[in-house]
A and B are shown apart, each in its own frame.
Chain A
């Protein structure tokens, strides 16, 4: 199996507070990994370490062949291989949806405008936003904005996509459309790591579930651990209906 992400014994502190206390896991190509846990368990921090938004204090992380702990890391290529979608969408407000998606294609992959637009339109159709290509973010609902944000990352053809609680800020009736897009991405073979509170989605789609507790991987396994947790903490977490 092709290992896309290898996290080994990672420690990280914010100021003096330890947030990650020895996190280790592996993600293979085409796998969908759901990272779950209470607020403050370190799951978002762990995710953000994978594309170097946060740096680590000790341990090692290898992503798509890049060694993140190495000083000679080529950040630009790493960012091209890893896409991320945020909880607050972070679409650029002064650009239309299509311009949002095409921006990095033109500036980073240096594609000519026509080609960039064509790719943007294709990816937007993939997430069901083809008819909203000329709209501005403020004209869209939360679910639509999040789908546009997914399209924006997807257009760069990353090897790995990270999702940081992407449905947590949405009204309940809007989460479905976003989860649908994520499920179709997974079925298409995209390697994905998602930090999520959507247990049923994780149970349905994830190959691997990682439960984080107090900065460590407390329990890990396939989706069955959600139905039959081994540890007391996970039992309590799943039982609380989150």
Chain B
């Protein structure tokens, strides 16, 4: 092998890499929060008594889960602009990610909410709690505790998937990597550094979620057992 690795020329760009990582974090955070909100609403909607609301949510979930994120991005960014709805790459990336995460969150939250036994809902009704109070205190909180691992795994996967938004020229870490690679001609080293940075981000994210879980769920913190 004639190739000699040269990481120094790539590592010179560490400010740009850090900036890209920061943009990735921002994109992921926004998509996580909004996607979670959307998913929770849709999960609640899919349990509603109306006839068409669950069906619409079902279609939404299946369409998103059975098409690639890249295609969804292209449709949003290129497709929608061509039919009169232009938007910046950042907006397109964020919107697509939110809709994407929302679909996966819906499924996870629905499974969590279905696992709450009807007896507890009955008990809450008999104590006089309103529907909204039952939803928040008796259904959502234990459901969230139960699906927290699955939910946070999904969010980490989404952070990694933000790399795909580089294909619609959104600004994040992979876009920076592509730029650095084109300037240093050291493609392999560039992407090794990028991979290492994503790995760090993923580990940080997991650690962050674990800590958050300990704060949010005192029962888990004290007993250590799954709910």
Q: Which A residues have a C-beta under 8 Å from some C-beta of B?
A: 51, 53, 76, 79-80, 82-84, 86, 88, 90-96, 103-104, 107-108, 136, 138-139, 149, 152-153, 156
Contacts and interface: CB of A to CB of B under 8 A. Distances in A.
B128 A86 contact: no
B133 A51 contact: no
Given A92-B142, A93-B142, A94-B145, A108 B122 contact: no
A155 B72 CA distance: 54
A83 B128 CA distance: 9
B121 to A, nearest CB: 9
Given A53-B122, A139-B223, A156-B128, 13 more contacts: A51-B126, A79-B125, A80-B128, A88-B119, A92-B120, A94-B141, A94-B217, A96-B219, A104-B127, A104-B129, A136-B219, A136-B223, A152-B127
Contacts of B222: 136
Given A93-B227, A94-B142, A138-B223, A86 B119 contact: yes
Contacts, number: 71
Interface in B191-227: 217, 219, 222-223, 225, 227
Contacts of B124: 92
Interface of B: 117, 119-120, 122-130, 133, 137-138, 141-142, 145, 217, 219, 222-223, 225, 227
Contacts of A136: 219, 222-223
CB-based closest 8 A-B pairs: A90-B123, A104-B127, A108-B128, A79-B128, A90-B119, A94-B142, A84-B126, A90-B120
A88 B138 CA distance: 16
Contact of B227 (A80, A82, A94): A94
B127 A79 contact: yes
Name the residue among B120, B122, B126, B145 with the largest chain A CB count within 10 angstroms: B126
Contacts of A93: 142, 219, 227
A91 B130 CA distance: 17
A108 B134 CA distance: 11
Nearest to B119: A90
Nearest to B222: A136
A95 B124 CA distance: 13
A103 B120 contact: no
A19 to B, nearest CB: 18
